[in-house]
Amino acid sequence: MPNLLVNGPDTALATVLLAHGAGAGMDTAFMTQMAQGLAEKGWQVIRFEFPYMAKQRNSGRRTPPNRVEILLQSFLGQVQSLHTRQPLVIGGKSMGGRIASLVTDELFSESRILGCICLGYPFHPLGKPKTLRVEHLLQLQTPTLIVQGDRDAMGSREEVENYSLSPQLQFAWMPDGDHSFKPRRRSGHTEQKNLNLAVTKVNDFLGRLTASTQRNSH
């Protein structure tokens, strides 16, 4: 398995760097559908793996995620090593999106990135709604899109709408979706429709980010 998976043209208006969630690598069906869907819309998507996941892939033995400091360092290292001339947007699934959101203001203030995308943000650990992971989201300066399932067990729409978050955060809610946007059958929605909707919402967000950059550069 290579260290990076790349979808989409290197002539795209922006490159999106995505990290995976805590329990599964960069090549899950979810990550692949998001990357391919965005590539079809003309964006370049680069996926990478944190050290513990790359090690797990080689050894075949499950290991817990690295400490947060190492995950942050790893994400920043990936940004440094990208040789892309295109504007950059960072993000990820669940834990990957959370780590992206923790480095985003630093990179944004240095004009290294245009924005951030979180696909299923883990607002709190499973079953611990009072243990919130939102402190840095209260004053976030970077334009950030959070795509979230209505009934995500790590932050449902009902819960999240009660948080006082930065106005830079935009939300796209996936109807009846869980942490990976999967709805219940009786809801009348389908997983594929929600994944397509997620791609559309991210595409719209990227379009707005790149349009405002082009306006500012003229």
Write out the two tokens for 186.
């009786």
Distance CA 29, CA 33 (A): 6
pLDDT band per the 50, 70, 90 thresholds, residue 2 = low
Q: Which amino acid is at 77?
A: G
pLDDT of residue 139: 96
- pLDDT given for residue 152 in this prediction: 98
- From CA 74, how far away is CA 33, in angstroms rounded? 24
Q: What six digits make up the tokens of 144? A: 């950030």
In the block, residue with structure tokens 């240095």: 110
Strand partners, 145: 117, 170
pLDDT value at 194 more than 80: yes
- Average pLDDT score over the chain: 95
pLDDT of residue 137: 98
| pLDDT tens, position by position, 24-48 | 999 999 999 999 999 999 999 999 9
Q: What is the pLDDT of residue 217?
A: 62
Domain count, the chain: 1
CA dist 17 and 169 (Å) reads 19
At 86, list the tokens. 């295109």
pLDDT at residue 7, rounded to an integer? 97
What are the tens digits of pLDDT across the range 75-98?
Answer: 999 999 998 788 999 999 999 999
Residue 18 has pLDDT above 80, yes or no: yes
Average pLDDT over residues 176-192: 97
Written as one string, the DSSP assignment of 39-89 is HHTT-EEEEE--HHHHHHHHH----PPPPHHHHHHHHHHHHHH----S-EE
What's the pLDDT at 93? 98
Q: What is the CATH number of the domain that holds 66?
A: 3.40.50.1820
Q: Which residues constitute the domain of residue 177? A: 4-217
**pLDDT by residue (tens digit) across 99-138?**
999 999 999 999 999 999 999 999 999 999 999 999 999 9
